[in-house]
Amino acid sequence: MPSCKEMLLNILNNTQAQLKDSLSPFQTECLDMFQIKIKAIPVDERTEMDSKIGIILLDHCFCDLDNLFGSEDRIISLINKRNLNDNDFFKQVNQIFDDEIKALNQYALESFYAQTFKPVKNILIDMKNELTRLKTSLDQQLSDTQSSPEYQTRYGLN
């Protein structure tokens, strides 16, 4: 049976392959980034930390294995909607990461074993920061394009 990490990578790969023509460049970059970050999770057979990280990412952030939450609460469901613009996608994915980080922080206050979830929180924070960097880069590209003389002439803005 594949590990949670492998299952999550397969889900992301399949989603990207099936929707490649309908994903925005930003969403494609996000999927690529998520896959890179997940592949980089070190396998540790002694502590099985990669399994804990994989389970939280798989069930709490990207999918809902138990169908307990609305579709807007998981990243794969957002991608499958196909009608989200980049701003809405960014806001909702960012909120998913924020909610999970808050849940882990709350768990840390209540549990003796909270330190075992610190690597999970670090990966979530890293993904959230990279997501923000990608969005900032996209916004800058759009701003540069819209301020170019060719764009302004084409759309009668000058």
Mean pLDDT across 82-108? 88
**At 4, is the secondary structure helix, strand, or coil?**
helix
Residue in the block written with tokens 């069930």: 59
Q: What digits encode the pLDDT tens for the residues 4-62?
A: 888 889 889 998 999 888 899 999 999 999 999 988 888 777 666 667 777 778 777 87
**Domain ranges within the chain, ordered by starting residue:** 4-154
Question: H or E stretch including 146?
Answer: helix 118-146
Residue 5: per-residue pLDDT: 83
Given a contact cutoff of 8 angstroms between Cβ atoms, the answer to whether 61 and 4 are in contact is no
Q: Answer with the residue of higher pLDDT: 7 or 157.
A: 7
Whether the per-residue pLDDT at 67 is higher than 70: the answer is no
